[in-house]
Every structure is written in C-alpha cells, then in structure tokens.
C-alpha cells in the first residue's frame, strides 16, 4: 500500500455523538439474596466493559434508576459518560413501582435531549432497559406503559424488558414488544452482552441500523 | 481518471482533487464504499461537484449514491452547456427547477430499471447507467411512496459554481463549504440535516424529498470549495460547524497546490484512510477539494 499522506494535517475529533442508555433496575424485596448480588456484579462488569472500549467510553451515557422501597424510585447514577461511570450498588427491599420508574426515565430523557440540543451534541436513538423479577404494582403503571409505547412507536426510544425470576410477561408486553427472559440469574452475562451491544450502537452512523444478536444461553424469547 | 475512488483534474479555471476511503465498518461487513462523487467542468469557468452517501441500511445504497451523483451531474452539466446562465438575479430560483428535475429523473430511472430487471439487484451487479437527458424526459412512474426507492436511500450534496459565484443544493447530511484560502473565517456552508437522532437523516429517495431539498447561494469572492461526506466531517470541521478546521484544510491546500494532481489525489486518499481517521470514525470518508487556478498561497 502506498503510504504517501499529506503532512502536518491535524484532525479534530468532532464525533461527539452520544448513545443515551437508561437502566431501570428492580430493587424490590424479591430480588434480595443471590439475584441482587449477581445484578450488582453484572453492573460492575458493564462499567469495566464500557470503559475498556475506546469509542463506547466516550459516547455511551448512562442513567441508572432503582425502583423499590415504598413506591420509591431513585436516581442511583445520573447522566454520566461511560468513562466516568461508577457502578452503583442496588439494594433490594419493598415493592415494584415500574410505571413510576419508567415515567421518570422518560422525563429525564427528554431533559437530557434538550441539553444535547443546546450543546449541539448529536445522539443516537436512546436505549431503555427495564430489568425486573416481578410485575408493576404501582397505580397508573398502565399509563406509563402507554407513554413508553408511544415513544417507541415514534422512534424516539428503543426499549427492552428483561424478565427474571417470577416476572410475568403480559404486563411487560404493555411497555414494549421486546421482552426477553434471563436464564437463571445470569446478570453478569446479561450486562456483558448489553455493553457490547451498546458499543456497536454507539458507532452507528446515519441510516444504519443495529443488529442485536441475543445470546441464547443467556436470554430467550418468552412465550 | 482512473479508479473511481480518486479524481484529479486541472482544466479551465479549476483544479479539482477528490478521494474516497471505505470505512472500517463496511470493511468488516465486506461491503464496498457507499459514498460516491461526480465532477464535471462542462463549459469554461463552470464547475459541478456532487457527493452522495448511500444509507448503510439500504440494500443498494451505494448504487443509489452513484446514480444520484452521476445523474445529477450529467443533467445539470447539460443545462449549463445549453444555457450557460450568467448574470442571474436569483441563482436559487434559476437552479431549483433544474436540480429538482435532475433528482426526479434519477428517481424514476432507478425505479424503472429495478422493476424491469428479472433478477434481484445487488451491490455486486452492474450499476444502473444514468444517461444525460433533458428534464422533458423525466417521467416518474408514480407519486406514491416507493418500496423500490427505499433500497437506494442516499443523501446528496452538490455545488454548481461559475465565475459569478454559485449555489449548493443539499438533501440530508454531509456538507459543502465555499471559503477563501487566505481567510477561512469567510465562508458559506450548507450544514448537515439530521432527524431527531444522529442515526437519522433525509434521502433523495424519500417521497417528501422536495421538502428536504435545500439551497444556499454564494458570491464570486470565494476561491476554495470543499465537499465532505459525514464520515469525513467528523475530523475536518471546526467546532460547531463554524467552517473548515484550519489545521485540517491549510496543510491539505498547501500540499495539493504544490504537488502534481496524481500525487495529490493519492496522498489525499491515504490521508482519509489513515489510522488516525479510522480511530475517529468507522464510516466511509469522501472529500472533494476544488480551487480556482488563480489561487496562490
């Protein structure tokens, strides 16, 4: 190959686009013990995998919400670039206000999009992952599910529900068509897959779609 | 020329060098470069340059890009040969119907050719030839949204330049800049247009393409013109799209003015395909550089 290049050319890295990645994590009482321990180990792996990827660490931006307690939703990690992300420790107690958590996620996403627009930062279609071993039991969760659906249908969001333990399919289907069942408590494998999918998606340019291959020994399509 | 990925010419009042480099994202998928460009100097003093970028998700995006680049150039070159329009009070008003006719002709030709073929059209098959025809020959098959044209999704940005100035026309992302080599702060730009997210943009193959067709005009004071695909924009632009990055364009212009056309074209392609650019973007990268031959740095 001819190595002749133009000398003294300096490149400006303007590829500052972001992939917003939102995790809505079930911290209800039924997750206590091994499930929550494995979930926390998985979060730590997610942090390590994203930081190790030279592009994803700059582009993936995370928001992590925990749901549990008495109808409680807390922001355990506010919008952070992957390179600065420290995996939070999720506690398990209380019930499953999934509707409230998704509504907060959608609200914070809209606020962040405004920040991107003001700063002139382009962004990929955001990803929302809901991970739960139960079913929503807060009031008006169905309205939140409709809002999530509307965002998906208008291509403002890609949403995935990961069910584990005793989670029921039908309530989660109201949020999104993309519902996957986690094999056992393979949270570590789940988050490794998630980080690699996000890494690929963060490099997506215009007109390109992302093909996400589901590892069948980790996730299955429930029926 | 050549090889379709590089171009060089010193004709009439113009010196033009262009190059494409396939992105690592396409190399890993065994896909060819989805960018295409076409350049014409149809009459003394005139320059046409069109750059198109096929959508990665479109089965025949690369073919669509080639078709619009070559088809639009051929059509507009014909207008210039026939009319050689000068002293235009409103260049955009003059050129809009001709550019629209060119795009509509390419659209209808693509759709007709695809439907007439008995086998599936793939990237490895012979690309569709776009003949040089007048606007009167453009007969669209129909006006409804086309499932066929989706296969050829591509963005397009073009420059029509004379001694009196010119216009940029533009659908989607990528960019074109008219500037002064001695004063890069003086520039006219047609900016990329994305949808809500970075992975969305607009294509000439969509049913509402006329709504997304934009024009920008400029005067005769500019002597340096650069067209970039969105892949190349990631490292060539000043922050906030405030013109071209001086530390990028000045060394390139100095080099291209001092070397032979062939050497410049090869060096430009290698620069676009360098490890440094690959670390910034996995996308295809195309750049068209053109200057008036009166330019001397």
Question: Residue A218: its pLDDT value, please?
Answer: 76
| Partners of residue B277 in chain A, C-beta under 8 Å | 11
Flag whether pLDDT at A207 surpasses 80. Answer: no
- Confirm if B49 and B39 have CB atoms less than 8 A apart: yes
Find, among B33, B28, B23, the residue nearest to B53 by Cα: B33
What the block records as the tokens of B173 is 């992302």
* Average pLDDT, 10 consecutive residues per value, chain B (297 residues): 75 92 80 93 96 91 96 98 95 98 96 76 48 38 64 97 97 96 94 81 95 97 96 89 92 94 95 89 93 75
Q: What is the pLDDT of residues A25-37, one digit of tens each?
A: 999 999 999 999 9
Question: Residue B2: its pLDDT value, please?
Answer: 43
| Partners of residue A3 in chain B, C-beta under 8 Å | 270
Flag whether pLDDT at A95 surpasses 80. Answer: yes
Flag whether pLDDT at A215 surpasses 50. Answer: yes
Find, among A163, A160, A161, the residue nearest to A35 by Cα: A163
Whether B245 sits inside 8 A of A124 (CB atoms) is: no
Binned at pLDDT 50, 70 and 90, residue A211 comes out as low
How far is Cα B91 from Cα A91, in angstroms, rounded to an integer? 66
Question: Residue A55: its pLDDT value, please?
Answer: 79
How far is Cα B185 from Cα B196, in angstroms, rounded to an integer? 29
Residue for token pair 């009319």: B83
How large is the greatest C-alpha to C-alpha distance in chain A, in angstroms? 67
Question: Residue B140: its pLDDT value, please?
Answer: 37
Coil, helix or strand for B265?
Answer: helix
Flag whether pLDDT at A166 surpasses 70. Answer: yes
* Ranges A175-184, A192-201, B46-55: which has the least confidence: A192-201
How far is Cα A171 from Cα B63, in angstroms, rounded to an integer? 45
What the block records as the tokens of B130 is 């776009």
Could you count the other beta carbons within 10 Å of the beta carbon of residue B90? 9
- Confirm if B21 and B279 have CB atoms less than 8 A apart: no
Dihedral of alpha carbons A92, A95, A99, A104, sign: negative
Residue A162 to chain B, least CA–CA distance (Å): 25
Coil, helix or strand for B13?
Answer: coil
Question: For the purposes of burial, counting CB atoms within 10 Å of the CB of A127, is it exposed (0-12), middle (13-18) or buried (19 or more)?
Answer: buried
- B133 versus A1: the higher-pLDDT residue is A1
A143: CB partners within 8 A, 6+ apart: A99
Find, among B44, B98, B108, B92, the residue nearest to B74 by Cα: B98
Residue B32 phi/psi, 5-degree rounding, is -75, 175
Of the CA atoms within 13 Å of residue B159, those in its CB half-sphere come to 34
How far is Cα A146 from Cα A131, in angstroms, rounded to an integer? 18
Q: Alpha carbon of B68 to those of B37, B48, B50, B108, B205: distances in Å?
A: 9, 13, 8, 11, 10
Question: For residue A206, what is the nearest residue in chain B, using CA coordinates?
Answer: B199
Could you count the other beta carbons within 10 Å of the beta carbon of residue B279? 15
| Partners of residue B198 in chain A, C-beta under 8 Å | 17, 122-124, 204-206
Flag whether pLDDT at A142 surpasses 80. Answer: yes
Question: Residue A185: its pLDDT value, please?
Answer: 85
Instruction: Select from B199, B240, B266 the Cβ nearest to the Cβ of A206.
Output: B199
Q: What is the pLDDT of residues A56-87, one digit of tens each?
A: 888 899 999 999 999 999 999 999 989 889 99
Give the ipTM: 0.84
What the block records as the tokens of A10 is 């300096």
B2 φ/ψ sector (left φ>0, alpha ψ -120 to 50, else beta)? left
Across the range A1-19, mean pLDDT stands at 80
How far is Cα A205 from Cα A56, in angstroms, rounded to an integer? 14
Residue A194 to chain B, least CA–CA distance (Å): 19
């Amino acid at each position: 190959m001819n190595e002749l290049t133009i000398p003294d050319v300096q490149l400006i890295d303007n590829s500052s686009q972001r992939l917003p990645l939102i995790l809505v994590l079930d911290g209800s009482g039924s997750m206590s013990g091994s499930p929550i321990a494995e979930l926390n180990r998985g979060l730590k792996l997610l942090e390590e995998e994203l930081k190790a990827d030279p592009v994803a660490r700059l582009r993936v931006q995370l928001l992590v919400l925990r749901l549990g307690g008495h109808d409680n939703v807390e922001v355990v990690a506010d919008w952070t670039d992957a390179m600065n992300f420290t995996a939070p420790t999720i506690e398990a107690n209380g019930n499953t206000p999934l509707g409230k958590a998704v509504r907060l996620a959608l609200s914070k996403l809209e606020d962040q999009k405004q920040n991107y627009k003001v700063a002139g930062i382009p962004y990929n279609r955001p990803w929302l992952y809901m991970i739960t071993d139960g079913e929503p039991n807060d009031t008006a969760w169905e309205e939140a599910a409709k809002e999530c659906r509307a965002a998906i249908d208008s291509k403002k969001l890609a949403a995935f529900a990961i069910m584990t333990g005793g989670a029921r399919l039908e309530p989660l289907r109201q949020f999104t068509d993309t519902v996957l069942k986690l094999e056992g408590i393979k949270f570590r494998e789940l988050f490794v897959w998630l980080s690699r999918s996000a890494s690929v998606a963060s490099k997506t340019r215009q007109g390109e779609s992302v093909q996400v291959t589901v590892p069948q020994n980790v996730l299955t399509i429930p029926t | 020329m050549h090889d379709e990925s590089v171009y060089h010419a010193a004709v009439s009042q113009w010196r033009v060098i262009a190059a494409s480099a396939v992105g690592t994202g396409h190399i890993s998928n065994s896909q060819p470069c989805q960018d295409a460009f076409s350049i014409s100097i149809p009459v003394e003093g005139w320059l046409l340059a069109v750059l198109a970028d096929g959508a990665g998700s479109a089965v025949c995006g690369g073919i669509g890009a080639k078709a619009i680049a070559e088809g639009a150039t051929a059509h507009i070159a014909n207008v210039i040969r026939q009319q050689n329009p000068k002293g235009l009070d409103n260049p955009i008003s003059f050129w809009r119907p001709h550019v629209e006719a060119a795009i509509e002709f390419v659209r209808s030709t693509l759709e007709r050719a695809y439907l007439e073929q008995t086998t599936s059209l793939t990237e490895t098959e012979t690309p569709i030839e776009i003949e040089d025809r007048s606007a009167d020959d453009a007969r669209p098959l129909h006006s409804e949204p086309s499932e066929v044209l989706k296969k050829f999704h591509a963005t397009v940005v073009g420059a029509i330049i004379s001694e009196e100035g010119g216009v940029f026309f533009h659908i989607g992302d990528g960019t074109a800049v008219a500037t002064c080599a001695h004063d890069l702060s003086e520039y006219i730009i047609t900016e990329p247009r994305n949808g809500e997210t970075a992975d969305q943009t607009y294509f000439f193959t969509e049913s509402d393409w006329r709504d997304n067709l934009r024009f920008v005009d400029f005067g005769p004071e500019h002597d340096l013109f650069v067209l970039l695909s969105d892949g190349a924009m990631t490292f060539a632009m000043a922050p906030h799209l405030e013109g071209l990055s001086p530390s990028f364009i000045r060394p390139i212009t100095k080099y291209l003015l001092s070397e032979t056309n062939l050497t410049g074209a090869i060096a430009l392609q290698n620069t676009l395909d360098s490890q440094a650019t690959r670390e910034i973007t996995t996308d295809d990268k195309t750049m068209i550089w053109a200057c008036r031959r009166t330019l001397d740095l």
